[in-house]
Structure formats: C-alpha cells, structure tokens
Amino acid sequence: MSQDLAVIAALVVLAALDGMFSGFRAAAGRSGLIHRRRSDVVSSARGLALVAVLLAPVAAGVLVDSATRAGAWPAHLAAGRAMLWVYAPYGALVLLALSAHVVLDWRRRFVASALVLGPFTLGRPAVALGGAASGAWLSGDARVAVLGLAAGGAVLAVEPLAGRGWYAVRHPSEALR
C-alpha cells in the first residue's frame, strides 16, 4: 500500500510542478518589468489551479473505475509506474536546471536556459504523451489507457489555456496600453 501511495504522490507532485511551470511560461515575456515576483507567483498559482481542474475528471475516472471493476486498481498503478519511468528523469533534469538558474551567475544561468530549459520545453509534449502512451501500453487495459492519455492531454492543455485565458492580447492596440 505504501508503494501505491508513493506512485500517486509522485505523479501528483510532478503534475503540480508542471502546472505551475506551465502557468509561469504562459505569462513569461508578457511584461517588461524586471521585478515581477508577484506576477510570477500569481501565474504559477493559476497554472497549479488549472492543472488541478483539468486532472480532476481523470482522477475521478480512476477512482470510479477502480471501485467498480475488479483488477482495475493494479492496472492503474502499473500505468502510473510506467509513466513515472518517463516523467521522473525529465522532471529531475528540469529541476536541476532550474536550481542552476537560481544559484548561478547570469552567464551560467543563460547556459542552463539555452541548453536545458529551452530544448526540454520543446520536447515536453513528446515526454508527456510518451509517458501516457507507455502507461497505456503497459497496462494492457483500454479504460486505463484512455484515462492515462486524457491525463497527458490535460497536462499539455494548461499552458495554452492559461495563455489564452489570462495573458492573451486581444488586439494589437492593447499591447501599447
């Protein structure tokens, strides 16, 4: 049972961090202000809230499926473990690059951004869908596969929805205000 909780906790933490970073990315570059700590916190909180809302139906689906169908819970856990094999190394490298970004001087920060964060952001959709697909494949269960792929899609929807919902410039003249 403790291994079950570890899988669930790891997936929740990774989804929460991804949601926060997606909210931040959606807002980044929209302001020329140098001191934007409050804006960064707000955008991260919005991303966290949005990922929670988008993943809630998936979590409910997992709980309902596991409660109503014999053998579903082990299949969901197998999918979660397979997802972690993909997501955990990616998440660890992103957190390492972000740590370097916080600790190092501006030149090395630039290198961390240019060599790690930029390419990793570009590869994020492939990692998200690859983890979901590996969970779907290894579970061998159609319902588990659909829920896993829905989770991958939900995580990928955070940044575009946040960008369009909170940070989109409606008309070019608004950018000058």
Smallest CA-to-CA distance from 140 within 78, 70, 56 is with 78
Rg (CA), the chain: 18
Q: Which two tokens stand for residue 166?
A: 């909170």
164 alpha carbon, distance to own chain's centre: 17
pLDDT, one tens digit for every residue, the chain (177 residues): 688 889 999 999 999 999 988 888 777 755 555 556 788 788 889 999 999 999 999 999 999 999 999 889 999 999 999 999 999 999 998 888 888 877 888 777 777 777 777 888 889 999 999 999 999 999 889 999 999 999 999 999 999 998 888 777 655 555 444
DSSP result, 30-79? S---S--HHHHHHHHHHHHHHHHHHHHHHHHHHHHHHHHSTTHHHHHHHH
Question: Residue 119, exposed/middle/buried by CB under 10 A (0-12, 13-18, 19+)?
Answer: exposed
Sequence ranges of the domains in the chain: 2-170
